[in-house]
Amino acid sequence: MDILKILKYLNKKQWMYVGLAIVFIVLLVYLDLKLPDYMSAITTLVETEGSTMPQILEQGAYMLLCALGSMIASIIVGWFAAQVAAGLSRTLREKVYNKTMDFSLAEINRFSSSSLINRTTNDITQIQNLVSMGLQAIIKAPILAIWAILKISGKSWQWTTATLVAVIILVVMLTLTLIFAVPRFSRIQKLTDNLNRVTREQLTGIRVVRVFNGEKYQEDKFTNANEDLTVNNLVANRIMAIMSPTMTLINSGLTLAVYWIGAVMINTAAVDMKLGIFSDMVVFSNYAMQVIMAFMMLNMIFILLPRASVSAKRVNEVLDVDISVKDGAGSNPSEKGTLEFKNVSFHYPDGRDDTLKNISFRAEKGTTTAFIGSTGSGKSTLLSLIPRLFDCTKGEILVDGVNVKDYTLKELRNKIGYISQKATLFSGTVTSNVSYGDSGKDPVSHDDVVNAIDISQSADFVNEMDGTYDARIAQGGTNVSGGQKQRLTIARAIARKPEMLIFDDSFSALDYKTDKALRTALDEKQKDVTKIIVGQRIGTIRHADQIVVLDHGEAVGIGTHDELMQNCPVYQEIANSQLSKEELANA
C-alpha cells in the first residue's frame, strides 16, 4: 500500500515518537475505561445504606484524577503525532523537491509543472493530515474497542446483543461509505491538478488572454474545472455527512436500548439484585458508548484515508521514477572548447519518429557554428542535447573530446553558458540575475557583471534603471522589455566565463543594430569561447565559421555562407526569402 511505503521515510527519532505515542494511547484508553468503574462504585455507595460522604468523595476524586490523567495523556499523544506528521511532511517535501530538481526535461514533461507543484504541496498536506490524526485514531480505536468489549462481556447477553446489533449497523454504514465515497475522493487530487493547471495557464498567459479578449473563454474553462471539482467534493462529502447523524442515532439508540433492557431486568429481578443490575447498567452503557466511539474514530480515518492514499501514490510516483539523465563517472578531457556530434539521432520519449537523424559535425575552440532551418527542423532540440537536458538515443556527443555521458552533470554544465529560447529572469536585482548559479569557478565578481553587461549591450538601459546594477527585477522579468530580458540572460551566460556559449535563438528579440553590436563584441572579447548559435535570420549567422542547415531533423548542408549559397537549395531558399540580391552580393 502506498501509505505504508511512505512510512519508510520516517527517521529513528520519529519512530521513537510513534512508540511513545502508543504507550500514552494505551494509558489514555486505560484511564478512559477506568472511569465507569468509579462511577459504578459511586452509584453503589449512593444506593447502599451506611455509606458516608468521604467514601463517595474518594471515588469522585479517583474519577477526577483519571479525567486529568486522560487529558494530559491526550495532549502528549497529540504532541507526538504532530511531531511525526510535521517531520514526515518536511522530509517528503525535501525529497520530492530534490528529486524534481534532478529530473530531465523528459520527466518534467511526463508529470507537468502544475502536477509537480500540487504533489509537493497539496498531496503532502493530505498525508500529513492523515498521519497527525490517524496516528491517534488508528491506534486508539482498535485498542479502545477490544478493551471495552472485554469489559462488557459476560455482563448480560441482552445488553451484549444490543451492542452487537449497533456494531453491525455501523459496519454496514462504513462499508457503504467506502463503496460510494472512496472513488470520489480518489478523483479529487486529479481534478485539483486540472484546476491548478487551468489557473496557472491563465495567469502566465494573461497578456495574450487580454489582447485577444479571451477572458470569457478562460472564465468558462476555469468554471468548468472548478465545477467538476466542486460537484465531486459535494457528492463525496454529502455521503460522509450521513455518517455523523447516523452515528448519533446509533449512539442514542444504543443508550436507550441499554436502559430499556435494564429497566425490564430491574423490574423482574429480586429486590436484593436490583442494585447490582442498576450498577451494571450504568457501567455497561458507558462501555458501550466507548465501543461506538471507537467506530466513530474509524469513520474519521475513512474520510482521510482515501485522499491520503491517492496522494501517497502520487508522491511515490515522483520518488520512484527512474531518472533518464544521470551523472557520469567524471572525466579528465585532453581538449578544451571543442564540440563534436557523431551520427547523433534523437526522438522524444512519446514520439514515434526521430526528431534528429544522423547529425555529424565538429566545432573547434573559438569558432562559431550556426544552425538554421525551418520551424520544427530540430534546432532547439539539438542544442538541448549538449548540456544533457535530454540524452541522444543514438550516436555520441563529445565535449572536449569526451562523451557528454561520461561527465558529471555539474562538470559538463560548468563548461557551458546556455541561453535558452525563452528568456527567464528571477526575482532579485540585475546583479543577482547576471551572477546567478554556480560555475565551479570563483564567484562572479562585480567587474565580471559589468563586463558581461557591457558585452551583451545591456549597459545603456541598466545605467538608466533606478539603482543601476542593484535595480530590482520582478519575478519572470516582467518589469523589463523582451529585448532587455534577452540581453540580461546573455550577460548571465557570459559572466560564467564558460568554454562554450550556446545561443538558442537568443537574438530574436533584438533589433538588427543591437544584434550586430552584440555579435561584434562577442567576436572581440570572447575570442577563445566556442559559440553555438541557432538563428532564424541570415544576418545573424552569415559570418559564422560553419553553418549547419537542418531540414526535418537532417543536416542537409554544412559549410560557410558562400559555400551553402552555391550547393544547398534549402539554405538558398531561406536566404532569398530574407535578403535582396544586392544584400546577398554585398555579403
pLDDT 10s digits, 320-344: 888 878 888 777 787 888 888 989 8
The CATH number given to 424-497 is 3.40.50.300
Cβ–Cβ < 8 Å for 306, 182? yes
Give pLDDT, residue 585.
55
Rounded to 5 degrees, φ, ψ at 369 are -115, 130
- Structural domain boundaries of the chain? 2-320, 328-415+499-554, 424-497
Q: Can you point out the beta strands (E) in 309-442?
A: 339-346, 356-363, 368-373, 394-399, 402-403, 416-419, 428-429
Q: Say if residue 319 is exposed, middle or buried (CB neighbours under 10 Å; 0-12, 13-18, 19+).
A: middle
Here the cell at position 121 is 504541496
Give pLDDT, residue 555.
85
Is the pLDDT at 128 greater than 70? The verdict is: yes
Give pLDDT, residue 153.
64
Give pLDDT, residue 486.
87
More confident residue, 122 or 271: 122
Please state whether beta strands 416-419 and 339-346 pair in parallel, antiparallel, or not at all (unpaired).
Answer: unpaired
d(CA 499, CA 487) in angstroms, rounded, equals 19
Cβ–Cβ < 8 Å for 386, 502? yes
| H or E element, residue 473 | strand 472-473
Quickly state the pLDDT bin for 214 (edges 50, 70, 90). Answer: confident
In angstroms, the Cα distances linking 286 to 176, 258, 479 are 27, 10, 68
Cβ–Cβ < 8 Å for 277, 269? yes
d(CA 321, CA 313) in angstroms, rounded, equals 12
Long-range pairs of 187-191 with CB within 8 A, sequence gap ≥ 24: 187/232, 188/229, 188/232, 188/233, 188/236, 188/307, 188/310, 189/118, 189/122, 189/123, 189/126, 189/307, 189/310, 189/311, 189/314, 191/225, 191/228, 191/229, 191/232
Domains 328-415+499-554 and 424-497 equal at CATH topology level: yes
Is the pLDDT at 63 greater than 60? The verdict is: yes
Give pLDDT, residue 141.
75
| H or E element, residue 551 | strand 546-551
With a CB cutoff of 8 Å and minimum separation 6, the contacts of 557 are: 547, 548, 549, 564, 567, 568, 570, 571
Quickly list H helices, 102-156. 105-111, 113-118, 124-152
Give pLDDT, residue 407.
87
Which of 145-159, 261-275, 295-309, 481-495 is predicted least confidently? 145-159
Cβ–Cβ < 8 Å for 120, 96? yes
In angstroms, the Cα distances linking 332 to 102, 401, 407, 544 are 23, 10, 9, 29
Percent of the chain whose pLDDT exceeds 70: 93
β-bridge mates for residue 356, sequence order: 346
Residue range 447-466, pLDDT digits in tens: 888 888 888 888 888 888 88
Quickly state the pLDDT bin for 238 (edges 50, 70, 90). Answer: confident
DSSP annotation of 214 reads -
Residue range 136-160, pLDDT digits in tens: 777 777 777 777 677 666 666 777 7
d(CA 517, CA 121) in angstroms, rounded, equals 46
Is the pLDDT at 295 greater than 60? The verdict is: yes
CATH topology of domain 2-320: ABC transporter transmembrane region fold (1.20.1560)
Rounded to an integer, what is the distance from CA 569 to the centroid of its chain? 49
d(CA 387, CA 271) in angstroms, rounded, equals 93
d(CA 364, CA 372) in angstroms, rounded, equals 19
Here the cell at position 347 is 526522438
Here the cell at position 119 is 504533489
Q: Is 320 left (phi over 0), alpha (psi -120 to 50) or beta?
A: alpha
Average pLDDT, the chain: 81
Tally of CB atoms within 10 A around 173? 17
Cβ–Cβ < 8 Å for 389, 377? no
Rounded to an integer, what is the distance from CA 62 to the centroid of its chain? 51
Residue range 470-521, pLDDT digits in tens: 888 888 878 888 888 888 888 888 888 888 889 888 777 777 788 788 888 8
What is the signed CA dihedral for 75, 79, 85, 88, rounded to 10 degrees? -160
d(CA 357, CA 345) in angstroms, rounded, equals 4
User: For domain 328-415+499-554, which architecture applies?
Assistant: 3-Layer(aba) Sandwich (3.40)
Here the cell at position 315 is 508522491
Is the pLDDT at 579 greater than 70? The verdict is: no
With a CB cutoff of 8 Å and minimum separation 6, the contacts of 379 are: 371, 372, 373, 504, 505, 534, 550
Tally of CB atoms within 10 A around 476? 14
Average pLDDT over residues 403-412: 87
Is the pLDDT at 271 greater than 70? The verdict is: no
